[in-house]
C-alpha cells in the first residue's frame, strides 16, 4: 500500500511499488522508470494488488508505469481511496464504492473503544452519547474526540459538548466543519502548554510523516518548549511522556 496524500511525489510512489514487487529502479528519468515498472507489473506469472491510499487529485497511472484502461493486466489490480468522486472519474475507475458514515450504533461502539467503557457510567452516558452524535458518524472525528478519555468527570464532558456545539469554525478547504471542531476540542483539552506546542510542531511536518521523537526533541530544545528541563535526557523523557 502506498500513501499518496495531498502532494504526491511520483518517484516515491514508484519506489514504494517497486520495493513491494522486488524491483529496483535506478536513474531519474520518469519514462524509463515507468517502462520498467510497467513490464514487471504486466508479468503474467504474477498476481499483484496495488493500493493507493488517500489520493487527493488524479494520478497519471500510465506515467507511473501502472497498467490501466485498455492497457491493463487482469492479474494486476489497482485500488485507490479518495474523498472525491471527481478523482475516481478522472482516473477512469471501473467500479466506485462509496463509503458512508457510521450508523449511530456503530459510532457509539467506536467511540467507546477509543474513550473507554467508563462512559457507561450513568452520570456520563447521556452526555457521551450526545458528543458521539456531534461527530456525525465520521470515524476520523470520533477518533480525535477520543482525547476525552483523560477526563472522567461530568463537568468536563458537559463543557466539551458545549464547545462542540458552539465552536466558531474557520473555513478551511476540504476540511469538514465537524473535523475542525473535533480537532480544536482535542487541542484545547491537551493537559499542558508543552503538549500543545508539540502538537503544533507536528503540524509543520508533511502529511503522513513518520515523526521521530528525536526530531521533536531537537526542535523542542531549539524553540525552548521545555523551559523547566535541566538536561537533554530530561527533555527526551518529556517528549516521550507528552
The C-alpha atoms of residue 68 and residue 193 are separated, in whole angstroms, by 50
- Residue 85 sits in a domain whose CATH number is 3.40.50.300
> Considering the domain boundaries, does residue 96 fall inside one?
no
Q: What are phi and psi of 156, to 5 degrees?
A: -65, -40
* pLDDT mean over 8-14: 89
> Considering the domain boundaries, does residue 99 fall inside one?
no
Which of the 8 DSSP states describes residue 146? G
Q: State how far Cα 232 lies from the chain centre.
A: 31
Distance between first and last Cα of the chain: 30
Residues 175 and 201 in one domain: no
pLDDT tens digits, 188-235: 777 788 888 888 888 888 777 788 888 888 888 888 888 777 777 777
Boundary residue ending a domain (188, 203, 221): 188
Residues 67 and 122 in one domain: no
Boundary residue ending a domain (20, 55, 90): 90
- More confident of the two residues 169 and 89: 89
Residues 118 and 134 in one domain: yes
Residues 15 and 83 in one domain: yes
Q: Give pTM, 2 decimals.
A: 0.65
> Considering the domain boundaries, does residue 95 fall inside one?
no
Bridge pairing between strands 76-82 and 48-55: parallel
73 pLDDT higher than 70: no
Q: Is 30 within 8 Å of 63 (Cβ atoms)?
A: yes
pLDDT at 88: 92
- Residue 121 sits in a domain whose CATH number is 1.10.8
Residues 20 and 82 in one domain: yes
pLDDT at 39: 87
Give the number of domains in the chain.
3
- H helices within the chain, ranges in order? 10-20, 30-41, 61-64, 85-90, 104-115, 125-134, 139-145, 154-166, 177-188, 193-202, 213-222, 232-241
Q: State how far Cα 58 lies from the chain centre.
A: 19
pLDDT at 87: 92
Boundary residue ending a domain (188, 209, 229): 188
Residues 144 and 72 in one domain: no
Give the chain's mean pLDDT.
Answer: 83
Domain that holds residue 197: 193-241
- Of all residues in the chain, what percent carry a pLDDT higher than 70? 90
pLDDT tens digits, 164-192: 787 666 666 666 676 777 777 777 777 78
Residues 6 or more apart in contact with residue 108 via CB below 8 angstroms: 129, 132
Residues 55 and 126 in one domain: no
Residues 75 and 33 in one domain: yes
Q: Would you mind telling me the total number of residues written for the chain in this entry?
A: 242
Split at pLDDT 50, 70, 90, the class of 45 is confident
- More confident of the two residues 149 and 13: 13
Greatest Cα pair distance in the chain: 65
- Distance set, CA 174 to CA 6, 66, 80, 180 (Å): 11, 28, 18, 11
Residues 166 and 227 in one domain: no
> Considering the domain boundaries, does residue 36 fall inside one?
yes
Amino acid at each position: 500500500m502506498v500513501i499518496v496524500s495531498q502532494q504526491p511525489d511520483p518517484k516515491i510512489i514508484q519506489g514504494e511499488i517497486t520495493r513491494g514487487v522486488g524491483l529496483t529502479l535506478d536513474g531519474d528519468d520518469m519514462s524509463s522508470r515507468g517502462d520498467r515498472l510497467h513490464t514487471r507489473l504486466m508479468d503474467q506469472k504474477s498476481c499483484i494488488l496495488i493500493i493507493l491510499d488517500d489520493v487527493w487529485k488524479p494520478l497519471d497511472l500510465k506515467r507511473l508505469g501502472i497498467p490501466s484502461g485498455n492497457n491493463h493486466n487482469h492479474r494486476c489490480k489497482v485500488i485507490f481511496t479518495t474523498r472525491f468522486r471527481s478523482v475516481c472519474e478522472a482516473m477512469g475507475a471501473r467500479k466506485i464504492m462509496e463509503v458512508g458514515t457510521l450508523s449511530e450504533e456503530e459510532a457509539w461502539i467506536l467511540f467507546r473503544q477509543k474513550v473507554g467503557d467508563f462512559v457507561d457510567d450513568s452520570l456520563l452516558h447521556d452526555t457521551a452519547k450526545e458528543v458521539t452524535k456531534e461527530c456525525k458518524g465520521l470515524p476520523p472525528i470520533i477518533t480525535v474526540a477520543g482525547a476525552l478519555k483523560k477526563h472522567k468527570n461530568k463537568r468536563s464532558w458537559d463543557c466539551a459538548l458545549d464547545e462542540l456545539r458552539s465552536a466558531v469554525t474557520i473555513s478551511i478547504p476540504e476540511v469538514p466543519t465537524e473535523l475542525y471542531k473535533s480537532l480544536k476540542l482535542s487541542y484545547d483539552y491537551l493537559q499542558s502548554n508543552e503538549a500543545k506546542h508539540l502538537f503544533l510542531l507536528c503540524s509543520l511536518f508533511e502529511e503522513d510523516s513518520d515523526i521521530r521523537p528525536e526530531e521533536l526533541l531537537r526542535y523542542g530544545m531549539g524553540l525552548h518548549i521545555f523551559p523547566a528541563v535541566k538536561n537533554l535526557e530530561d527533555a527526551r523523557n518529556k517528549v516521550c511522556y507528552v
